[in-house]
Amino acid sequence: MNNPDSGLETRDLDTSCHPPAPLRIALCAGEASGDILAAGLIAALRERFPNAEFAGIGGARMRAAGMDIWHDAEALAVMGLAEVLAHLPRLLRLRKQFRQAVLDWQADIFIGIDAPDFNLGIEKWLKQRGLRTVHYVSPSVWAWRESRAAKMGESADRVLCLFPMEPPIYARHGVDAVFVGHPMADEIPLHPDRAAARTRLGMDASAPVLALLPGSRLGEIQRMLPIFLAAARQIGAHKPQLEVLIPAASPACRQQIETLMPAAASAKETAGMALPRIQILDAQAREAMIASDGVLLASGTAALEAMLCKRPMVIGHRISAPSYAIVKTFGLLKTRHVSLPNILASKTLVPELLQDDCTADKLAQAVLYWLDNQDAREALLPQFEAIHQNLAQDAAHSAATAVAELLGDAG
């Protein structure tokens, strides 16, 4: 780990005797998705500012993009209330040390990538001391507590948004926000090649294929996979050649899936119907979606990815009864829909079966509707394509332009 406080010389701004000091950009990304976003942003900024220096908290991709890593992003990778509480003193010390290091380094701008619980406090502290600040990836202000949008302005001079419905919300609260597009829309082809994906996975080109994505957290898998497998069993009774793909987001997720499989295979409520052929994949969620004829998934970013892969889907999701009671009682959810395809379309494109509606019978019926109804599948495609094209804005370069504008140089 490099020490940002050692060996740093005071920047000489007397340009009559010396060349201009290089632009210094500090960043902080706390998880894998942020590492990917930040690496793309660094590459795009370097095109504009070839001599710029980048430093802060990040992962392997940011390091490969040329950033000086003061602390590894894994230092922030803490999930779960108990884990966060156990690590809180260390995280608070790290945040205090890091924000001072950014100030001592005389950064020209600080960019926090996602991780709002960690980054927004740093941004606010630095902004109060005169440093320009950017927050890349808006919290879901369109779904939960719009009041957070106003508070974002206390931390960030500019918010970089992945979705087009976000800047108008910030505008209502006088916060500068820019839609830069979603990098996933840049990565995924407008017309993904199903046959090629099946070849890469060694699958039958003509068999009906269902991708099951029960979530990427162990508790979510525990709650959703048995229901999804029961639905798959019913779908298989109507589609004898059905093949099922289950991508595991991590080795721990794979172990959880494999642990739950035997109970699902012998479940009494589905006696007399065998499970279809199931293949568990290590990651490869996108490949599984592209190879499939339909996707059954828990709500989350996976729904956006399935839409960009142009696959019909069914959203099935349950949260714990106490959590659901709190959401309903206090009206915390501000949208009619929970999945991004429906939210982005402002209408119901794909079914969302939540809580008591999330049963094996209803999920199976909804999936079979897509598998059996070619007209419905074809009607869905142009709507997915239109959303894809709207989101594909060359996000890395759009974000770099937004940062350069804040620095007073649109490049």
HSE, CB side, 13 Å, CA atoms: give it for residue 385.
Answer: 10
pTM of the model: 0.87
* pLDDT mean over 285-294: 98
Poorest-confidence range of 70-79, 152-161, 285-294, 400-409?
70-79
Q: What pLDDT was estimated at residue 273?
A: 77
Of the pLDDT bands very low, low, confident and very high (cuts 50, 70, 90), residue 281 is very high
Fold match flag (24-181+393-406 vs 194-391): yes
Q: What pLDDT was estimated at residue 405?
A: 96
Cross-strand partners of 108: none
Q: What pLDDT was estimated at residue 9?
A: 44
**Residue 219: pLDDT over 70:** yes
**Residue 143: pLDDT over 70:** no
Of the pLDDT bands very low, low, confident and very high (cuts 50, 70, 90), residue 6 is very low
Contact between 201 and 333 under an 8 Å Cβ cutoff? The reply is no
Give the tens place of pLDDT for each residue, 93-120.
Answer: 999 999 999 999 999 999 999 989 899 9
**Which of residues 396 and 327 earns the better pLDDT score?**
396
Give the tens place of pLDDT for each residue, 151-168.
Answer: 899 999 999 999 999 999
User: Is domain 194-391 classified as CATH 3.40.50.2000?
Assistant: yes
Give the tens place of pLDDT for each residue, 60-101.
Answer: 999 999 999 999 987 776 544 445 566 678 888 999 999 999
Helix (H) or strand (E) holding 53: strand 53-58
Poorest-confidence range of 129-133, 216-220, 292-296, 353-357?
216-220
Of the pLDDT bands very low, low, confident and very high (cuts 50, 70, 90), residue 272 is low
> Which of 313, 314, 310 is CA-nearest to residue 388?
310
Instruction: Report the chain's C-alpha Rg in angstroms.
Output: 23
* pLDDT mean over 394-403: 98
Poorest-confidence range of 175-179, 328-332, 385-389?
328-332
Distance from C-alpha of 308 to C-alpha of 345, rounded to nearest angstrom: 13
Q: What pairing do the DSSP bridges indicate for beta strands 294-297 and 313-317? A: parallel
Give the tens place of pLDDT for each residue, 50-61.
Answer: 999 999 999 999
CA end-to-end span of the chain, whole Å? 33
Q: What pLDDT was estimated at residue 169?
A: 92
Written as six digits, the tokens of 63 are 């390091």
The domain locations on the chain are 24-181+393-406, 194-391
Q: What pLDDT was estimated at residue 269?
A: 47
CATH topology of domain 24-181+393-406: Rossmann fold (3.40.50)
Q: What is the 3-state secondary structure (H, E, C) of 315-333?
A: EEECCCHHHHHHHHHCCCE
Of the pLDDT bands very low, low, confident and very high (cuts 50, 70, 90), residue 410 is very low
Written as six digits, the tokens of 87 are 């690590």
- φ, ψ of residue 90 to 5 degrees: the values are -65, -45
